[in-house]
Amino acid sequence: MPEVSSYEPPPGARSTMDADVIVVGNGPVGAALGVLLAQRGRRVTVLERRRRPYTLPRATSFDGETARLLAGCGTGAGLGRITEPAGAYQWRTAADEILLDIAFRTEGPYGWPDANTMHQPALEELLAARAAELPGVTVVRGRQVVGIEEREDRVAVTAEDEDGAARTYTARWVVGCDGANSFVRHHLDVPVTDLGFSYEWLLCDVRLREPRVFVPTNLQICDPARPTTLVGSGPGHRRWEFMRLPGERAAELNREETAWRLLAPYGVTPDTATLLRSTTYIFQARWAERWRAGRVLLAGDAAHLMPPFAGQGMCSGIRDVVNLAWKLDLVLGGLAPESLLDTYTEERRAQVHESILSSVQLGRVICVTDPTAAADRDATILAGRRDRGPTVPDPAKPLTRGLLHRSGDGSPTAPAGEVIPQGRVRGPGGTGLFDDVVGRGFVLLLAPGADAGLDEEQSAFLTDLGTHVVRLLPEDGEPKGGAVADVGGVYRAFLSRHRADAVLVRPDYHVYGAASGPGTAALVDDLRAQLGAGVPAGAGGSGA
């Protein structure tokens, strides 16, 4: 269920501005942010320079954690219709030896398949349909942002239509989700760190005329004669990417006849497929040093770009706006100071930095065109892989900075920062994934028989945050009130592993902290203090 803020602005306050938040850019990242804020009762204006939706695919997949985040946008029922689970991801040598073998689970730790292939226009349609259901979202197409002026309590954004006619929109906050060539980022004059790692590839998107099964779903051919990528991109769609070789002219590569020639060995011809797009692109590895300047913030490709080899570009953008949406909501509602938004950059930039470095490392392995270097690479990796079978994906990256429960030395106290798994639970209305049964937002999860020991003021604080206080029952327990039966034992196992009676989870599913016994009340007070809400005299302690 969507989280809805109980905050209402003073009478007349709404009429002085066009929106609470202006989002620049209506790609998946900007669209998701608009939905997430509107679900919390906020008014959002989304300014998009394109008059019509972009109909060609860009991203081709998202991981299980991102699927969970997208489901939080109210699109969960439609995700299965527009996606197909990927079975595996392999890297192979020119001689077809396996260098890397990852087996994706159809039901991963976050309640969704580990890897979900998709046709991006279908995802954007799903998000647009959800936005249309929410009265708080206004999408204005055909408007190019040309000016941003921050005033005392608001930001004025000027946008022009195709005829050059300008209009100014006002909001308390502006978020630039306007892509790699972001106007918002350039306007803010934000320094960018560029690792200088880039190669040019020919991208070929096809729609297959007949169903075909590809095993593995996603394949990286590490052939120095032509590094090549094959990936699923949703029902009936597939993508091939071919690296431009040293000395090869981009103009020669970027021809339709070249695309068909390179696709032919894979049984992809004009008789078997429709070529939706054939174009060269150059990937980059860079990030903005600042993601906030006053009342203006950056998210998605406007804040970071990475090579495609780990499939984390769009996923990182979705994580950005899920992190940002609930913090903006608390600030707009007067439940947290504006300084809370500084934790957005602190938390997300550290995670993105790691993702970019990992993607570059993968790229350095893949983008090898020297036969001798490739042979050495293959021998080294194959020696390390001897007698090893497929692996499963690593868990989602934990937060290490920002709004987390910490020990005396300032380090996060485990499991603070982890993404809590999602299992199935049974509530009074039936059985389903935890997020759907319980609802989204802050969650205080209590072990069977545990007493949170909260006083009236602490309970009121959690209520102000819209927190779901949930007591776990054994699998055969009878749910009632705020209790749910832990059908698969996922949550009891999590609490047991961390020797905790309670876990406090943020709206982005990262654990704020865990505690045992009387430490639960101290944990709640710690969150109050970090949000600037204050702690009653005499309260204290770092929790357990």
User: How do residues 189-215 score in pLDDT, each as one tens digit?
Assistant: 999 999 999 999 999 999 999 999 999
pLDDT band at 283 (very low <50, low <70, confident <90, very high): very high
pLDDT band at 7 (very low <50, low <70, confident <90, very high): very low
pLDDT of residue 386: 76
34 & 158 share domain: yes
pLDDT of residue 475: 87
pLDDT of residue 385: 86
The phi and psi torsions of 339 (rounded to 5 degrees) equal -60, -20
Assess whether pLDDT exceeds 50 at residue 2.
no
Tokens in use for 392?
């499963």
* Whether 175 contacts 320, CB under 8 Å: no
User: DSSP label at 309?
Assistant: G
CA 503 to CA 489: how far, in whole Å? Answer: 15
Task: Tell me the per-residue pLDDT of 456-505, one tens digit each, with 9 for 90 and over.
Answer: 999 999 999 999 999 999 888 899 888 999 999 999 999 999 999 999 99
pLDDT of residue 57: 85
pLDDT band at 8 (very low <50, low <70, confident <90, very high): very low
CA 413 to CA 406: how far, in whole Å? Answer: 5
Neighbours of 334 (CB within 10 A): 10
CA 455 to CA 132: how far, in whole Å? Answer: 41
Q: Hey, which residues does 285 pair with through a beta bridge?
A: none
Assess whether pLDDT exceeds 50 at residue 544.
no
CA 131 to CA 128: how far, in whole Å? Answer: 5
Question: Which amino acid is residue 462, in one-letter code?
Answer: L
Q: Is the peptide bond before 216 cis (omega within 30 degrees of 0)?
A: yes
Assess whether pLDDT exceeds 70 at residue 310.
yes
* Whether 46 contacts 30, CB under 8 Å: yes
Give me the chain's average pLDDT, please.
Answer: 93
Listing DSSP states for 19-82 in one string gives EEEEEE--SHHHHHHHHHHHHTT--EEEEES-SS---S----EEEHHHHHHHIIIIIHHHHHHH
Phi-psi region of 38 (alpha: psi -120 to 50; beta: other; left: phi over 0): alpha
User: Average pLDDT of 265-279?
Assistant: 97
User: Average pLDDT of 22-47?
Assistant: 98
* Whether 131 contacts 137, CB under 8 Å: yes
SS3 state of residue 477: coil
Q: Is residue 97 part of a domain?
A: no
User: Average pLDDT of 292-314?
Assistant: 97
430 & 343 share domain: no
CA 247 distance to own-chain centroid: 37
CA 417 distance to own-chain centroid: 16
CA 495 to CA 443: how far, in whole Å? Answer: 14
For residue 61, what are the CA distances in angstroms to 84, 113, 282, 309? 9, 11, 19, 12
327 & 179 share domain: yes
Listing DSSP states for 428-487 in one string gives TTEEEEHHHHH-SS-EEEE-TT------HHHHHHHHHTT-EEEEEE-TT----TTEEEET
147 & 294 share domain: yes
Q: Is residue 297 part of a domain?
A: yes
293 & 170 share domain: yes
pLDDT band at 164 (very low <50, low <70, confident <90, very high): very high
130 & 25 share domain: yes
For residues 397, 401, 406 and 412, what is the CA-based torsion angle, rounded to 10 degrees? 30
pLDDT of residue 517: 87
Assess whether pLDDT exceeds 50 at residue 252.
yes
CA 172 to CA 151: how far, in whole Å? Answer: 9
172 & 300 share domain: yes
Rg over alpha carbons for the chain, rounded to the nearest Å, is 24
From 185, 177, 183, select the one nearest 158 (Cα to Cα). Answer: 183
Question: Which amino acid is residue 450, in one-letter code?
Answer: A
CA 203 to CA 239: how far, in whole Å? Answer: 7
Boundary of a domain, candidates 347, 367, 382: 347
Q: Is residue 315 part of a domain?
A: yes
Q: Is residue 275 part of a domain?
A: no
Assess whether pLDDT exceeds 50 at residue 9.
no
CATH of the domain at 316: 3.50.50.60
Assess whether pLDDT exceeds 70 at residue 5.
no
Assess whether pLDDT exceeds 70 at residue 14.
no
Q: Is residue 277 part of a domain?
A: no
H-helix or E-strand containing 229? Answer: strand 228-232
Total number of residues shown for the chain: 544
Q: Determine the Cα angle at 91 with ends 88 and 95, to 5°.
A: 125
47 & 185 share domain: yes
Neighbours of 247 (CB within 10 A): 6
Boundary of a domain, candidates 318, 347, 376: 347
Q: Is residue 453 part of a domain?
A: yes
Can you tell me which residue has the tokens 């560029």? 194
Phi-psi region of 65 (alpha: psi -120 to 50; beta: other; left: phi over 0): alpha
Tokens in use for 323?
């992190």
Share of the chain above pLDDT 90, in %: 90
Q: Are strands 166-176 and 296-298 parallel, antiparallel or unpaired?
A: parallel
Task: Tell me the per-residue pLDDT of 330-384, one tens digit each, with 9 for 90 and over.
Answer: 999 999 999 999 999 999 999 999 999 999 999 999 999 999 999 999 999 999 8
For residue 22, what are the CA distances in angstroms to 204, 329, 428? 34, 13, 39
Neighbours of 162 (CB within 10 A): 10
For residues 316, 150, 294 and 34, what is the CA-based torsion angle, rounded to 10 degrees? -30
Q: Is the peptide bond before 9 cis (omega within 30 degrees of 0)?
A: no
324 & 452 share domain: no
Q: Which residue has the higher pLDDT, 167 or 14?
A: 167
pLDDT of residue 336: 96
- Which range of residues forms the domain containing residue 307? 14-60+119-194+287-347
154 & 296 share domain: yes
CATH of the domain at 505: 3.40.30.10
54 & 174 share domain: yes
Tokens in use for 344?
């957005």
Q: Is residue 234 part of a domain?
A: no
User: Average pLDDT of 67-80?
Assistant: 97
Query: How many independent structural domains does the chain possess?
Result: 2
CA 223 to CA 377: how far, in whole Å? Answer: 11
Tokens in use for 102?
């990852």
164 & 46 share domain: yes
User: Average pLDDT of 515-533?
Assistant: 94
Q: Is residue 359 part of a domain?
A: no
From 191, 144, 415, 387, select the one nearest 289 (Cα to Cα). Answer: 191
Can you tell me which residue has the tokens 């204006």? 45
Q: Hey, which residues does 24 pair with through a beta bridge?
A: 47, 176
* Whether 16 contacts 328, CB under 8 Å: no
